[in-house]
Amino acid sequence: MSFNKDQNITGLPVLQDNIIWLWVKNKSVVVVDPAIAEPVIHWIKKRDLDLFAIFQTHHHEDHIGGTQKLINEWPDVKVIASEREKKRIPFQNISVKDGDTINVLNKKFKIIEVIGHTNSHISFYSKDFHNPILFIGDTLFSGGCGRIFEGTHEQMFKSLKRISLLPIDTIIYCAHEYTKSNLQWALEISPNDSLIKEKLLEVEQKINSNKLTIPTTLKEEMNINLFLKAKNLKEFSYLRAKKDNWA
Ligand SMILES: [Zn+2]
């Protein structure tokens, strides 16, 4: 899809299924949730670019694992993370909270807190791109949502509701390539859903040609993501429990 190129945002697959997002503007790079450092350093140096900032959505090791090494390589890098995570993301030097707006490489990003996966998970939203963009970490995946480790089901349901109110053409950059198994699960829940069936075929084709299945769009997810489509907390909780127990 061409929107990925238009926005100058590239996904770097690392570890088993993590995707590190790299946004390039002129000679500067912003990296989102660097699980590990080496492929990021290699990618940036090969293109003769500089690391300007790191966005951290939450404290899990597969999101911050590479940050210290990147700081060693680029000591002036801005590390932007939730002010409520100063202990678990100790290297942050710009601390943000829900509703803050930050200016990064002349684009505005709004911080939207999305509690559920952790109790201080944040996302980075910007309207200053061709399409609005959202770096959502482990809160929403294509066809699924994050496991609820620290928050409550109610908090996660509210977080997803907040996301669903963003402009429908928002491009969603999530941190894991889970799309295929999410859709396989969704088809067990809704076996006759033709939109999910179609999407699964499309996703399998992409995987077979070694392409990422993300980013996704809010519009697409409103059609195929059962968690986003859940009408109330009860329905959401039912789905989350089903998914947690799915092989
Ligand atoms: Zn996580």
pLDDT of residue 81: 98
DSSP code for 176: B
Please say whether the beta carbons of 122 and 82 come within 8 A. yes
Q: Which two tokens mark 48?
A: 């003769």
Write out pLDDT tens, residues 180-230: 999 999 999 999 999 999 999 999 999 999 999 999 999 999 999 999 999
Confidence band, pLDDT 50/70/90 cuts, at residue 2: very low
Question: How many angstroms separate the first and last alpha carbons of the chain?
Answer: 31
Q: How far apart are CA 90 and CA 128, in angstroms?
A: 29
Ligand 1 centroid to residue 214 C-alpha, Å: 17
Q: Which domain holds residue 50?
A: 3-244
Distance 137 CA to ligand 1 centre (A): 7
Q: How far is the CA of 146 from the centre of ligand 1 (A)?
A: 7
Q: Who surrounds ion ligand 1 at CB < 5 A? A: 60, 138
Q: Any idea what the CATH number is for the domain that residue 162 is in? A: 3.60.15.10
Convert the pLDDT of each residue in 145-182 to its tens digit: 999 999 999 999 999 999 999 999 999 999 999 999 99
> In total, how many domains does the chain have?
1
Q: Is the pLDDT of residue 5 over 80?
A: no
Question: Ligand 1 mean position to 26 CA, how many Å?
Answer: 30
Average pLDDT of the segment spanning 40-46:
98
pLDDT in tens, 91-104: 999 999 999 999 99
Q: How far is the CA of 105 from the centre of ligand 1 (A)?
A: 27
Summarize pLDDT for 89-143 with one digit per residue, the tens.
Answer: 999 999 999 999 999 999 999 999 999 999 999 999 999 999 999 999 999 999 9
pLDDT value, residue 7: 82
On the question of pLDDT at 32 being above 50, the answer is yes
Q: What is the Å distance from ligand 1's center to 81 Cα?
A: 14
Q: Please report the pLDDT score of residue 6 as a whole number.
A: 59
List all residues 6 or more positions away from 186 whose beta carbon is below 8 Å from its beta carbon: 143, 144, 193, 196, 224, 225, 226
Query: What predicted TM-score, i.e. pTM, was given to this entire model?
Result: 0.96
